[in-house]
Every structure is written in structure tokens, then in C-alpha cells.
């Protein structure tokens, strides 16, 4: 990890001041994350990711080692150097937890049973060499997962309260995004598009696609897992259908997520799409809608919270246009505490 921390600084900072320099960067990052939450609301929803995977050193490093000033609303990421990965998790019986030095053996990294992280790194390096990408944001490595040391479980809960609701920002502000449609690191090949675990059917992948489309002038999707046997498919232009039945259906599925190409679905459109998607918990669907509905504040993520209890703070954080859409466009009166707003189950 030392190489990953040092390599951005050994030419610009004297060895005499390196330690104090790193302490200052770490302190500024920690203080910003502490200030980001007030009364169970995230008031700094442009906060950068907590960690990134440094492909050169092959270690997960704190985001602050990149040395980016956090004082602009949109330019918070060194967009040309960070590559987010979008993928759908495999089922429990098709994945394994890998303890690896990449993340310092902090938690078992859940990956498909037939995939090695070393092979995944090689593919991402090959993609990154073209795009000059050095860092990757990958949830299984950069977002603290279940299964670490028992004394760190409370730390996971604390981190998730901020990190989960702000995942969409990572995809919104980066130039290139890699999409694995058949599972992390797995080959792109014909698959069952109706499978509950397919990328097209998962809750989190909706914002990971639409956030890119909303910044389509600067952002470019990259299809991962391409092999000699992969069908030809242009993920950047999914509406260019081919004669192949599978890729035509796949293109239709992806194109209908955002037919306008703007990434700006209404809350009702996004909720309708989300209701047909699968997630580990209902709260994931609600958190995945924050990108479409919430304004400058987001509710914190609490996995122990009942969905209806989480719905009302979510409404408080909605942009005025999103609340107006629910108020004026939703066809029936609410069945919950208030008649003017539908309950989550109604939506």
C-alpha cells in the first residue's frame, strides 16, 4: 500500500514533510465526512468515494491520496483517472468471499465463483491504458462489506450511512464507466435477460446507467468481458439494433431505461422501472432512487429501518419538481399517514 500512497507525492513533496502532509490530507477528508451529516441527513451529497482501487499498486487506497481539492460542486473527482464499475452481484451459491491483500484482508471480497481478482485487474488495466485510467471504484473492494472483523461491524454501519446514498455521484462525475452485464469480470455472452440476477434487472444498476446518460457528452460506457465469442453489441448506442435476436432484446431493454437519452427520468418513471427490479432488500430500491429524486440533501442509509419509515425522510429530501410530480401526477390518494402523498407500497 505504501507505493499507492506515495506515488502521487514523492516528486512534489519533500520527504521531510510527507508524513505531516498525509496527516493533513487524512484529517481534511475525515472532517469533511463528519460535516457531511446533520440530523440524519447528508448535506454534502457531492462527497467523493471513501476508497479507490489503485490498479498500479494493486491496493485499495483512501481517496485522499489523490490529493484533489474538495471545494467545487461538480469537479470533485479527477474524472479521467477514476473508472467506476457497474455490475450485478451473483447469487450466494454462485459467488465466493475472497480474503485478499488488495484491501488489506479487511473483509472478504464477494466475487463470482469463477472469477479471479488478478484477471479482473488485468482487464481493467488494459481498458485503462487506452483511457489513461489509474484508479477504479468497485463496490466489493471500495465499499466496506459484511464479514470483516466483528469489532468493525459498527464501522461498516457508520460508513454505509453516507457511502450508500452517494454511490450515484461516483457514476455521475466520471468520464468512463465499465459495465459487466453477466456478472463481475465474467464474459459478455448470451444469457437469460429475464434472470433476476441479470444486470438489466437489478435495482442499483438503474442509477449507474442513467447517471452516465445525463452526462452523455463527457461520459462513455465501456462493455466489459469482451471475448472472441462475445456477440457484437455497441453499449454506447443500444438502440442500434442488429439482426441478432439476443443483442436486439438486450438493446431494447437498455434503451427503454432512458429513451430520451437524458438520464433525467421523473420520479414516477424511475419508481415504475425500479418496482420491476430485484434487490437484496426493499431499502436498496429506495436508496437507488435518490439520484432521480433528491436535491442537495439525502437521507442517511439505515439497513435496519422499515421501508415506510425511510420513505418519509426521503420525501423531505426530494427536489421540488419530484414532490410536485407525486402530488399532481400520482392518480390516487395516499393510503399512509397523508392523503396528499402515496405510500412507498403504493408507488
pLDDT digits (tens, 9 = 90+) for 41-58: 999 888 889 999 999 999
Indicate whether 111 and 248 sit together in one domain.
Answer: yes
Helix-strand-coil percent breakdown of the chain, rounded to 5?
40, 15, 45
Indicate whether 147 and 201 sit together in one domain.
Answer: yes
Q: For a pLDDT cut of 90, what percent of the chain falls above it?
A: 55
Indicate whether 252 and 284 sit together in one domain.
Answer: no
Give the domain-ending residue among 264, 298, 331: 264
Indicate whether 159 and 237 sit together in one domain.
Answer: yes
Phi and psi (nearest 5°) for 176?
-120, 145
Query: What's the pLDDT score for residue 118?
Result: 97
Give the domain-ending residue among 214, 237, 264: 264
Give the range among 70-84, 93-107, 227-241, 283-297 with minimum mean pLDDT: 70-84
Domain range for 53: 2-264
Q: Facing residues of 87 across strands?
A: 180
Indicate whether 229 and 254 sit together in one domain.
Answer: yes
Give mean pLDDT, residues 158-178. Answer: 89
Mean pLDDT of the chain: 87
Indicate whether 236 and 285 sit together in one domain.
Answer: no
pLDDT at 96 over 90: yes
Say what the pTM is.
0.91
Which of 291, 319, 286 is closest to 305 using CA atoms?
Answer: 286
Which of 284, 290, 338, 343 is closest to 318 using CA atoms?
Answer: 290
The 10s digit of each residue's pLDDT in 241-283 is: 677 889 999 999 888 876 555 556 788 888 888 999 999 999 9
Query: What's the pLDDT score for residue 217?
Result: 53
Contacts (Cβ under 8 Å, ≥6 apart) of 300: 37, 40, 41, 42, 161, 162, 165
Neighbours of 13 (CB within 10 A): 16
Give mean pLDDT, residues 92-118. Answer: 96
Q: How confident is the model at residue 81 (pLDDT cuts 50, 70, 90)?
A: confident
> How far is CA 55 from each of CA 31, 83, 225, rounded to the nearest angstrom?
27, 10, 18
Indicate whether 82 and 163 sit together in one domain.
Answer: yes
Query: What's the pLDDT score for residue 256?
Result: 81
Query: What's the pLDDT score for residue 145?
Result: 96
Query: What's the pLDDT score for residue 70?
Result: 43
The 10s digit of each residue's pLDDT in 283-314 is: 999 999 988 889 889 999 999 999 999 999 99
pLDDT at 74 over 80: no
Give the domain-ending residue among 264, 289, 324: 264
The 10s digit of each residue's pLDDT in 3-34 is: 778 887 777 777 777 788 888 899 999 999 99
Indicate whether 253 and 305 sit together in one domain.
Answer: no
Pairing of the two strands 51-54 and 109-112:
unpaired
> Could you give the CA distance from residue 328 to residue 38 in angstroms, rounded to a whole number?
30
Number of domains observed in the structure of the chain = 2
pLDDT at 78 over 60: no
Indicate whether 6 and 142 sit together in one domain.
Answer: yes
Indicate whether 250 and 314 sit together in one domain.
Answer: no
Indicate whether 201 and 288 sit together in one domain.
Answer: no
Indicate whether 28 and 164 sit together in one domain.
Answer: yes
The 10s digit of each residue's pLDDT in 115-151 is: 999 999 999 999 877 667 889 999 999 999 999 888 8
Amino acid at each position: 500500500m505504501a507505493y499507492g500512497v506515495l506515488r502521487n507525492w514523492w516528486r512534489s513533496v519533500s520527504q521531510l514533510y510527507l508524513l505531516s502532509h498525509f496527516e493533513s490530507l487524512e484529517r481534511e477528508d475525515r472532517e469533511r465526512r463528519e460535516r457531511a451529516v446533520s440530523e440524519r441527513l447528508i448535506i454534502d451529497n457531492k462527497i467523493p468515494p471513501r476508497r479507490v482501487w489503485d490498479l498500479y499498486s494493486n491496493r485499495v487506497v483512501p481517496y485522499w491520496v489523490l490529493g484533489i481539492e474538495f471545494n467545487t460542486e461538480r469537479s470533485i473527482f479527477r474524472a479521467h483517472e477514476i473508472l467506476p464499475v457497474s455490475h450485478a452481484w451473483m447469487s450466494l451459491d454462485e459467488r465466493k468471499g475472497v480474503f485478499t491483500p488488495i484491501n488489506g484482508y479487511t473483509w472478504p471480497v464477494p466475487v463470482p465463483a469463477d472469477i479471479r481478482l488478478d484477471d479482473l485487474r488485468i482487464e481493467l488495466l488494459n481498458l485503462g491504458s487506452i483511457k489513461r485510467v489509474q484508479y477504479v471504484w468497485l463496490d466489493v473492494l471500495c465499499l466496506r462489506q459484511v464479514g470483516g472483523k466483528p469489532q468493525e461491524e459498527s464501522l461498516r454501519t457508520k460508513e454505509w450511512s453516507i457511502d450508500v446514498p452517494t454511490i450515484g455521484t461516483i457514476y455521475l462525475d466520471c468520464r468512463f464507466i465499465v459495465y459487466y452485464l453477466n456478472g463481475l469480470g465474467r464474459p459478455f455472452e448470451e444469457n437469460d435477460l429475464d434472470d433476476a440476477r441479470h444486470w438489466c434487472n437489478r435495482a442499483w444498476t438503474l442509477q449507474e446507467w442513467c447517471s452516465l446518460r445525463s452526462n452523455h457528452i463527457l461520459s462513455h460506457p465501456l462493455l466489459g468481458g469482451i471475448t472472441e465469442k462475445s456477440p457484437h453489441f455497441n453499449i454506447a448506442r443500444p438502440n442500434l439494433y442488429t439482426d441478432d435476436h439476443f443483442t436486439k432484446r438486450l438493446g431494447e431493454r437498455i434503451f427503454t431505461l432512458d429513451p430520451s437519452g437524458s438520464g433525467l427520468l421523473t420520479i414516477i418513471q424511475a419508481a415504475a422501472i425500479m418496482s420491476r427490479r430485484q434487490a437484496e432488500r426493499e431499502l436498496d430500491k429506495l436508496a437507488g432512487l435518490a439520484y432521480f429524486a433528491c436535491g442537495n440533501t439525502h437521507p442517511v442509509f439505515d439497513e435496519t429501518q422499515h421501508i415506510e419509515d425511510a420513505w418519509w425522510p426521503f420525501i423531505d429530501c426530494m427536489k421540488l419538481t419530484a414532490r410536485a410530480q407525486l402530488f399532481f401526477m400520482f392518480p390516487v390518494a395516499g393510503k399512509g399517514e397523508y392523503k396528499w402523498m402515496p405510500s412507498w407500497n403504493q408507488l
